[in-house]
Amino acid sequence: MIGTTARSLLSVSLLAVLAGCNSSSPTSGLTGAAPAATAQAEPTPVVQAFCPPVVMREETAIHRAYARGGQDNPEKLMYQASLADATRACTANETTITINVVAQGRIVAGPAVSAGQVNLPVLVEVVDGENVIYSQSVSFPVELPTAGTQFVFSKPDVQIPNAQGGASRFTRVRLGFDTGSKR
C-alpha cells in the first residue's frame, strides 16, 4: 500500500513539474495573482474584390518584326518576341479595381538584327465575356542584343469599375501583342 501511495504521489509531483514547464515565463507559476486579461481589438472585417485572371491571346502572343520590304521572309527577320507566363495583383476601393499586370517575355534576334532598343507593342485588354471594359496598347522598350534575352513587362495601372457593370466572374485580362488589326 505504501508503494502504491508513493507512486501516486510521485506521479502527481511529476505532473506538477511538467505543467510548470509549459509556461513561457519562468516565474509565471510563482505568483498568486491571476494573469491580467489583455485587451484585444475586434478584428476589422475584410472584403476582398475579385481579381480577374490573366490569359494570353494565343493568336497574338508572338510578334515578329521584319526589315523594310521583307514581310514573312525569314532572311529579313529582325527579331521575334513572345509573351509567356503572366500574373496579376489587385487593389480595390468602392469604385475601382486597379490591376498590376506582369508578364514574362523573351526576344530573340533574327538574321537581319541590329542591336539596340526596340519598342514592343503590348496590348492589355480587360474583357467581361465579349465586352471590352479596358484596352490600351503599350509601347514597351526592350534592349535587343545580338542574341536573345528575357524581359519582364509590367502595367501597374489598369483600372476598371468595381461596381455594377464592372468586374464579374467572367472578367479576364487578355494580354498579347498589338497587331493593329481588328480584335
Q: CA separation (Å) from 103 to 25, 72, 100?
A: 50, 26, 10
Residues 6 or more apart whose Cβ sits within 8 Å of residue 6: none
- Dihedral sign from CA coordinates of 83, 63, 157, 55: negative
How far apart CA 75 and CA 59 sit, in angstroms, is: 23
Tens of pLDDT, residues 118-147: 999 999 999 998 899 999 999 999 998 777
Task: Report yes or no on whether pTM surpasses 0.85.
Answer: no
Q: CATH code for 54-177?
A: 2.60.40
Tens of pLDDT, residues 51-99: 999 999 889 999 999 998 888 899 999 999 999 999 999 998 888 899 9
Is a pLDDT exceeding 50 seen at residue 116? Answer: yes
